[in-house]
């Protein structure tokens, strides 16, 4: 999908107008950002926004997230285990220490 983020009041207003006029490409609207589907119409609208507002418009392309293909087992099971921990006040670093769950540093250094 296309993620469009605006960084000025003018650009934000134009994005709002675009979203109200063209509802078909809009997947989701957030205050000053929106997700468009991946159509040429969406790209056309996004590029028009950037043509009009320059650097106050950021356009990114997102990918669907599938944790079963993109995320290693140990990360998924660590997330599940930590959210189901007995003591809510335990930090993740403490929780993972001495277990087979990855340490916060390891998570930080590993790219998906």
Please count the residues of this chain forming the interface with another protein, following the rule CB under 8 A: 9
Q: How far does the chain reach from its first CA to its final CA, in angstroms?
A: 19
Phi (first) and psi of residue 37, to 5 degrees: -75, 170
By C-beta, is 73 or 111 nearer to another protein? 111
Phi (first) and psi of residue 35, to 5 degrees: -105, 125
33 near another protein (CB under 8 A): no
Among 23, 30, 40, 55, binds another protein (CB under 8 A): 55
44 near another protein (CB under 8 A): no
Closest CA to 18 of 40, 56, 44: 44
**Interface residue list for another protein (CB under 8 A):** 7-9, 12, 32, 54-56, 58
């Amino acid at each position: 999908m296309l993620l469009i983020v605006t960084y000025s009041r003018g650009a934000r207003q134009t994005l709002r107008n675009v979203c109200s006029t063209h509802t078909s490409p809009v997947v989701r609207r957030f205050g000053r950002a929106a997700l468009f589907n991946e159509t040429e119409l969406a790209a056309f609208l996004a590029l028009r926004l950037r043509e009009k507002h320059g650097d106050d418009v950021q356009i990114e392309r997102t990918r669907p997230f599938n944790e079963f293909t993109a995320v290693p087992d140990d990360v998924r099971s660590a997330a599940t285990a930590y959210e189901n921990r007995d003591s809510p006040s335990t930090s993740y670093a403490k929780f993972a220490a001495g277990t087979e769950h990855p340490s916060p540093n390891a998570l930080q250094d590993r790219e998906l």
